[in-house]
């Protein structure tokens, strides 16, 4: 029986990365790139329109990062498999996206065999982690998924923090997230209180330190 076509969405804000991933995947049979996106909003809209089997997404996306995109994609398309394809290898960041529903994690510094391996595994709903993602990290994730502590901020608060750190004003944030300015202010105040921060500059530094945005 012939292998089914793997329908793939690519989300990365660097055109050269998207083209590189497309070229690699299309060099093999049964791979179809159904959409490409440069930010979270485009990715979510295109995913809803094309219903891909697998989404290959970078963690560092503008407006809203890969963690929040993972949450949104799994909510919209519960059976979609998500591969995080990124330069970030911080343990806490990896754990967050795995808890959010991603089941593949490959570094951009890894060889192309890991990208192919991840697509092959996710296409049959099996997890895949490149060699750089240690067994210790995977063990820790499996131990904590049932009762581990959650991140300090809610997903909505993280979204607001990222947009503030990117220099967006409350009105712009409200438009992007489709919420009122008052709700934006509430999430901002709640985030500042939880993190014990007093200024926007401190919030930006927090976002950089925790890979919510890139420096």
pLDDT tops 90 at residue 43: yes
pLDDT band at 51 (very low <50, low <70, confident <90, very high): very high
| Domain 155-209, CATH | 1.10.10.10
pLDDT tops 70 at residue 137: no
- Contact predicate 85/111, CB 8 Å: no
pLDDT tops 60 at residue 143: no
**138 Cβ contact list (under 8 Å, min separation 6):** 129
pLDDT digit string, tens, across residues 196-205: 888 888 888 8
The answer to whether domain 6-144 has CATH 3.40.50.2300 is yes
- Per DSSP, which regions of the chain are E strands? 6-11, 31-37, 54-57, 81-86, 104-107, 128-129
What is the arithmetic mean of pLDDT over 179-188?
Answer: 89
Q: Where are the domains of the chain?
A: 6-144, 155-209
pLDDT tops 70 at residue 182: yes
Predicted TM-score (pTM) of this structure: 0.68
* Predicted local distance difference test score (pLDDT) of residue 147: 45
pLDDT digit string, tens, across residues 98-129: 888 999 999 998 889 999 999 999 999 999 98
C-alpha distances in Å from residue 183, one per residue of 71, 166, 170: 20, 18, 9
* Predicted local distance difference test score (pLDDT) of residue 95: 81
C-alpha distances in Å from residue 122, one per residue of 32, 54, 209: 15, 7, 31
* Predicted local distance difference test score (pLDDT) of residue 69: 92
In the chain, what percentage of residues exceed pLDDT 70?
A: 88
What is the arithmetic mean of pLDDT over 3-8?
Answer: 86
Using alpha carbons only, give the angle 51, 90, 158 rounded to the nearest 5 degrees: 60
* Predicted local distance difference test score (pLDDT) of residue 148: 43
pLDDT tops 80 at residue 70: yes
pLDDT tops 90 at residue 85: yes
């Amino acid at each position: 029986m012939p292998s089914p076509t793997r329908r793939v969405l690519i989300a990365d804000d660097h055109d050269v990365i998207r083209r590189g991933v497309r070229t690699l995947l299309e060099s093999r049979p049964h791979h179809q790139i159904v959409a490409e996106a440069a930010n979270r909003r485009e990715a979510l809209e295109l995913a809803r329109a094309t219903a891909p089997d697998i989404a290959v997404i970078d963690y560092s996306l503008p407006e809203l990062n890969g963690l929040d995109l993972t949450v949104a994609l799994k909510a919209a398309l519960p059976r979609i498999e998500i591969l995080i394809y990124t330069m970030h290898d911080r343990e806490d960041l990896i754990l967050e996206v795995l808890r959010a529903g991603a089941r593949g994690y490959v570094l951009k510094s890894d060889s192309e065999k890991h990208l192919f391996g991840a697509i092959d595994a996710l296409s049959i709903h099996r997890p895949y982690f490149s060699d750089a993602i240690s067994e210790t990290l995977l063990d820790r994730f499996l131990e904590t998924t049932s009762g581990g502590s959650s991140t300090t901020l809610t997903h909505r608060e993280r979204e607001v923090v990222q947009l503030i750190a990117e220099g967006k004003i409350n009105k712009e944030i409200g438009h992007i997230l489709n919420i009122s300015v008052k709700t934006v202010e509430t999430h901002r105040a709640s985030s500042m209180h939880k993190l014990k921060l007093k200024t926007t500059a401190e919030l930006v530094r927090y976002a950089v330190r925790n890979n919510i945005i890139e420096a």
